[in-house]
Structure 1
Amino acid sequence: MTHRPFKAFALILLLAACGGGNTVAQDAVSPQGAGDSRVAKHVFGSMPQPSSQTSQPIGGYSQGCQAGAAQLPETGPTWQAMRLSRNRNWAQPATIDFIADLSAYAATLPGWRGLYVGDMSQPRGGPMTSGHRSHQTGLDVDVWMNAPQRLDLSPQEREEISAIDMQRAEGAYVNDRWTPAHEALLRHAAQDPRVARIFVFAGAKVAMCDHATGDRSWLRKIRPWYGHNEHFHVRLDCPAGSATCAPQDPIPMGDGCDEARSWVAGILNPAPADPNAPPAEPRGDLTLAELPGQCMGVLASD
């Protein structure tokens, strides 16, 4: 599998030397995208390589795509990319740099050799064929909770090994696999100015709220969310100067601990189901017409 340049500045220099590729125009609207009812995940999921464009996230985390993605090398000095068969170790250069930095820190923690890195994005981003609603712009990355003892896993081992479950009581508490190193890793990630949010199960957030001392401002970025008991999900801010990237709304003020405790209370004492409540509307698949117009240019690029 071809590896893209590793550091963001190296990618930028290379593109400059080669003429910069096809820059995504901020106000470009592709007429081919208007009214295109094709299911976006099928089209983007079939693209095996990134576009030959200047690197740029386009649209929102759950309704966008990415131009000029870089590939996280399958194995680095302090990480390994997992589930290589999915071809989801692609992201914006800033995300590649972040993983290199966070994994180097992880390697300093007791019992950790680095990180096992889960899903990032598809080569051209966009909706995934399975597993995620977000991860569309190259700014999201899942980090497994495992403390790696080896960084020489074969491709087959990376398909077979499982991420470890850290929750107890359906996510209300952490289990005995949770360690101070996990808290230190999430704290370090949350203190990184590139990070917008980190999603993890509610019990982990409450455990960190209970143990954190000194400066607690980093807790604000740790957000409780379902299904994040075997990995934590890091979301980066839109890079500076990225006119096509749509940021999320700001995080509410405060450390968010009361909110996390309310999640835990709901897990331990769920409200009774309302028999008169209408069934939830199923979420339909995004079509190409619902994505930013620039995404058609991403698909059309070499």
Structure 2
Amino acid sequence: MGYKFGLIALALTALVACKSENGAPPTRAAVSTQTIDDPRVAKQVFGHIDAPNAGASQAIGSYARGCSSGAVELAENGPTWQAMRLSRNRNWAQPEMVEFVQDLSAYAATLPGWEGLYVGDMSQPRGGPMLTGHASHQIGLDADIWLRAPDRLNLTVTERENISSIRMDRTSGAYTNDNWTPQHEALLRRAASDPRVARIFIFPGAKVEMCKNATGDRSWLNKIRPWWGHNYHFHVRLNCQPGDPSCVPQDPPPAGDGCADAQVWVDNILNPPPPSGGGGGTPRGPLLMEQLPATCQAVAAN
């Protein structure tokens, strides 16, 4: 899967020339000869590495600017899960994320009408920026969980490339639709109640709906954060592991259940505020290798 390092032996000068003409990815030998201040696009490095390194497990850097050492693979098939879109080779993560997905899928299998989980993108074999999609998912602590209850857990590789999740929102994310069920809320509550979890991203209407229906302890709602686009899946982000100084944590969510904030998101969807003016600033270009933690150079090379 992915680009096979070592198939082409190119000198550094030839590699740079080749990249400028046709976008060809670097070979492993070329990666190892580069320095940290080589202005190469990081996704062209990490996006073509098809296997993990042999280093110790470390989430290096921040969720949107880093890499992953010692990643492990979520098995393509498990008793209560299937990894989807195998051609992307993104079913890799830090060991604690793989364990979390396995645990959550076992819980999902206890819900009426669910056999487990379809698991979407996690991280690449060595993390880092991806060729397509996702600003985050770089350090092996993010995973997308499909909101579609599995039809069955023996899908073929071809079926997994072609099947899609099911949309759960209406009115551009302001509300849930008829596909949304109590089982979805139970699954998200279980995930958010796990101490390993830092945040969960889902469309605003789902957060508001859960706020309406939650009874008893509402502390888990704090981790459910509204965000655009998460209407076919929810995105789980784990905390940095204790004792991993290479991992840069995100600031914790604001105190409280976050329900009022989610309602503001919904109100802004239904009645968009006028443009604030001033423009959106200069778009960020693709991350360069020199913009990642220095350790990521070694992770890519070895």
TM-score using structure 2 length: 0.88
Offset of residue 55 of structure 1: 1.1
Contact 2:36 2:297 in 1 (8 A): no
Matched, 1:298 2:299: yes
Could you tell me how far apart the structure 1 residues matched to 2:273 and 2:35 are? 44
Contact 1:33 1:293 in 2 (8 A): no
Could you tell me how far apart the structure 2 residues matched to 1:278 and 1:157 are? 43
Q: In the alignment, what sits opposite 2:106? A: 104
Could you tell me how far apart the structure 1 residues matched to 2:171 and 2:279 are? 28
Deviation string 1:204-242 (CA, Å, 9 cap, x unpaired) is: 000000000000000000000001000000000011211
Contact 2:223 2:253 in 1 (8 A): yes
Matched, 1:55 2:40: no
Q: In the alignment, what sits opposite 1:256? A: 258
SS at structure 2 position matched to 1:64 = strand
Q: Against the structure 1 CA distance between its residues 213 and 33, is the aligned structure 2 distance closer, same or farther, given a 3 Å change threshold? A: farther
Deviates more, 1:278-287 or 1:204-213: 278-287
Contact 2:60 2:67 in 1 (8 A): yes
Matched, 1:182 2:184: yes
SS at structure 1 position matched to 2:66 = strand
Q: In the alignment, what sits opposite 1:217? A: 219
Offset of residue 33 of structure 1: 4.4
SS at structure 1 position matched to 2:144 = strand
Matched, 1:196 2:204: no
Offset of residue 135 of structure 1: 0.1
Identify the match of residue 149 of structure 1 among 145, 148, 151.
Answer: 151
Q: 4+ residue stretches of structure 1 with deviation over 3 A? A: 30-34
Contact 2:240 2:249 in 1 (8 A): yes
Matched, 1:81 2:83: yes
Could you tell me how far apart the structure 2 residues matched to 1:36 and 1:289 are? 7
Contact 1:167 1:174 in 2 (8 A): yes
Q: In the alignment, what sits opposite 1:239? A: 241
Could you tell me how far apart the structure 1 residues matched to 2:138 and 2:233 are? 18
Alignment of 1:7-22 (within 5 A): none
Could you tell me how far apart the structure 1 residues matched to 2:251 and 2:51 are? 31
Q: In the alignment, what sits opposite 2:290? A: 289
Could you tell me how far apart the structure 1 residues matched to 2:268 and 2:98 are? 36
Contact 1:70 1:90 in 2 (8 A): yes
Q: In the alignment, what sits opposite 2:133? A: 131
Could you tell me how far apart the structure 2 residues matched to 1:251 and 1:159 are? 35
Q: In the alignment, what sits opposite 1:64? A: 66
Could you tell me how far apart the structure 2 residues matched to 1:116 and 1:241 are? 31
Contact 1:91 1:120 in 2 (8 A): yes
Could you tell me how far apart the structure 2 residues matched to 1:130 and 1:91 are? 18
SS at structure 2 position matched to 1:252 = coil
Offset of residue 285 of structure 1: 0.4
Partner AA of 1:164 in structure 2: I
Identify the match of residue 208 of structure 2 among 193, 206, 209.
Answer: 206
Q: In the alignment, what sits opposite 1:229? A: 231
Matched, 1:37 2:25: no
Could you tell me how far apart the structure 1 residues matched to 2:294 and 2:111 are? 44
Offset of residue 278 of structure 1: 2.7
Deviation string 1:89-146 (CA, Å, 9 cap, x unpaired) is: 0000000000010000000000000000000000000001111000000000000000
Offset of residue 282 of structure 1: 1.6
Partner AA of 1:184 in structure 2: A
SS at structure 1 position matched to 2:236 = strand
Could you tell me how far apart the structure 2 residues matched to 1:222 and 1:239 are? 20
TM-score using structure 1 length: 0.88
Identify the match of residue 113 of structure 1 among 102, 115, 121.
Answer: 115
**Superposition RMSD in Å:** 1.4
Partner AA of 1:287 in structure 2: L
Identify the match of residue 269 of structure 1 among 265, 271, 292.
Answer: 271
Which consecutive residues of structure 2, in runs of 5 or more, have no partner in the other structure? 2-31
Q: In the alignment, what sits opposite 2:163? A: 161
Which consecutive residues of structure 1, in runs of 5 or more, have no partner in the other structure? 2-29
Identity of aligned residues (%): 64
Q: Against the structure 1 CA distance between its residues 33 and 222, is the aligned structure 2 distance closer, same or farther, given a 3 Å change threshold? A: farther
Q: In the alignment, what sits opposite 1:7? A: none
